[in-house]
Amino acid sequence: MYNPMMIIDGRPVLASDGSVHKILNPATGELVGEVPSGGRQEAHQALTAASRAFPAWAATSPGKRADVLHQAASLVRELADEMAVMLTLEIGKPLRASRREVLGSADVLDYFAEEGKRAFGEWTISGAGKSRSLVIRQPIGVAALISPWNYPVDLLSWKVGAALAAGCTAVAKPSSMAPIAASAFIEAINRAGAPPGVINLVLGPGSTAGAELVESPLSQKISFTGESATGRWIMAAAAPRLKRLSLELGGSAPFIVCADADVKSAAEACVQRAFNNAGQICISVNRVYLHHDVEEEFMELAIQRAGRLRVGSGMEDVDLGPLASEEQRKRTREHIEDALSRGARLRLGGSEPEGEQYSRGHFFLPTILDRVDHSMRVMREETFGPVMPVMTFKNLEEAVRLANQTEYGLAAYAYTNSLDAAVYLAERLESGGVGINSNNVVDLQAPFGGWKQSGFGRELSHHGLEGYLELKHVKIGL
């Protein structure tokens, strides 16, 4: 059983009132561990520690900050197998996916370690030549980093790596649903030589610990990944102090398959992106739009591929683990039932798998629906479950109109062998990331973030680093 503690000012800390939160395995219902459940007091202590540590860390050279991050990346790689087991037990994803996530988080630390060395300034000469303008970048201050449960280590690394490389100190608050592997990740950074208070860890509910991180005058930057409703609350709560925000919120990614596409490749990519992590990904395929000429071929290939996916405990050799909670499974079931009641056709799945091995977990079969339309919840809301709804279109204009008919704009995908169509779609899809003949819009060296109700601000790349830096103009008279 795993029993991590909070880390405040470099020391392990329990909740002041002794409160703990139990973590259950979503595949079996068995107890995985207990973590302290902190609140406003612990969050305030962590912010205070980060504030004390900020001047010295901000003054530390980018090279020395990089040394800490590189060492942390090495420790995370050494712990990858152990952390992957933690991650699978607490959130359910297949073990190989958990290990890939942990190793990816180490790559993020290495990337930002080097990117922090390249936060250059600017030097210009005035028109009259009698002054010089120096533009420099300096760390904002204390950053509150609030991460989600679906990729609890990877998405936390995006925030921590950028914040520390920029010279900010930070308080990390992982989701209460998946705090164990994330705690091991923060502990590794402290073991790597981060000075006390530079990176703190608070565990507890968003309504108390999270609220203190957002509302406190000690935090200057809030980075949050999660639901749009919570993002709107954070924006309102941070407004009185005009805090810098990065919000990566909900998604409803369209997947467009044109008449000239490589249908086999498109079907394979669509199934992978729709059902990876049981559909619990912010950039998962939520809505599939097929040109009517390829509908029959695509559906046959997709149903065959999805039908071969293995469902079971993440500790076994499977493709889909359980959903993270019964709430997620209930939402998935409700979206399917709503669609069927409005005329959709069930082509695959649609229920929990049968058998004793599934009786105690939150399992659900990969599900494919067709004959859907935008009156159905599955096409308007983010399911965050293993459901792939499909409808058809006649031309590119209609495809774009349907794809953009959502309040979200995080990711979009399109498959075509026409350069004209690729450019047309890339420029017109209202999304922070567009994959053309690719089912992934994440790249360490490219910005990641959303349009519309999917939030604002960017993570990864030098743009992610710049989110933790302030610009200062220094004018020098000669």
pLDDT in the model for residue 277: 97
Q: Describe the crossing of helices 95-115 and 80-91 by its angle, rounded to 10 degrees.
A: 120
**Would you call 79 helix, strand, or coil by DSSP?**
coil
- Read off the pLDDT of each residue in 336-360 and give the average, rounded to a whole number: 97
Residues ≥6 apart with Cβ < 8 Å to 195:
10, 53, 56, 57
Is the per-residue pLDDT at 129 higher than 90? no
Name the residues annotated as catalytic.
Answer: 248, 282
pLDDT tens, position by position, 283-306: 999 999 999 999 999 999 999 999
pLDDT in the model for residue 330: 97
Is the per-residue pLDDT at 126 higher than 90? no
Cβ–Cβ under 8 Å, residues 425 and 434: yes
Pair type for strands 221-225 and 244-248? parallel
Cβ–Cβ under 8 Å, residues 162 and 463: no
- Read off the pLDDT of each residue in 392-420 and give the average, rounded to a whole number: 98
**Would you call 380 helix, strand, or coil by DSSP?**
helix
Place of tokens 């950053």: 143
Cβ–Cβ under 8 Å, residues 27 and 352: no
pLDDT tens, position by position, 252-288: 999 999 999 999 999 999 999 999 999 999 999 999 9
Portion of the chain with pLDDT greater than 70, in percent:
100
Portion of the chain with pLDDT greater than 90, in percent:
98
Task: Name the band, by pLDDT with cuts 50, 70 and 90, for residue 223.
Answer: very high
pLDDT in the model for residue 302: 98
What does pLDDT average to over the chain?
97
Pair type for strands 285-291 and 387-393? parallel
Residues ≥6 apart with Cβ < 8 Å to 401:
none
Is the per-residue pLDDT at 93 higher than 90? yes
Cβ–Cβ under 8 Å, residues 396 and 376: no
- Read off the pLDDT of each residue in 360-373 and give the average, rounded to a whole number: 98
Is the per-residue pLDDT at 128 higher than 90? no
Is the per-residue pLDDT at 402 higher than 90? yes
Amino acid in position 277 = N
- Read off the pLDDT of each residue in 41-59 and give the average, rounded to a whole number: 98
- Per-position DSSP letters for 310-322, written without gaps between them: -BS-TTSS-SB--
Residues ≥6 apart with Cβ < 8 Å to 126:
132, 133
- Read off the pLDDT of each residue in 237-251 and give the average, rounded to a whole number: 96
Is the per-residue pLDDT at 172 higher than 90? yes
Q: Measured between alpha carbons, how far is 16 from 13 in angstroms, rounded to an integer?
A: 8
Q: Measured between alpha carbons, how far is 452 from 249 in angstroms, rounded to an integer?
A: 10
Cβ–Cβ under 8 Å, residues 157 and 111: no
Amino acid in position 397 = E
**HSE-CB of 400 using CA atoms within 13 angstroms:** 14
Query: What is the pTM for the complete model shown?
Result: 0.96
**Would you call 429 helix, strand, or coil by DSSP?**
coil
Q: Which of 346-350's residues contact partners 24+ apart within 8 Å by CB, and which partners?
A: 347/299, 347/303, 348/303, 348/306, 348/307, 349/306, 349/386
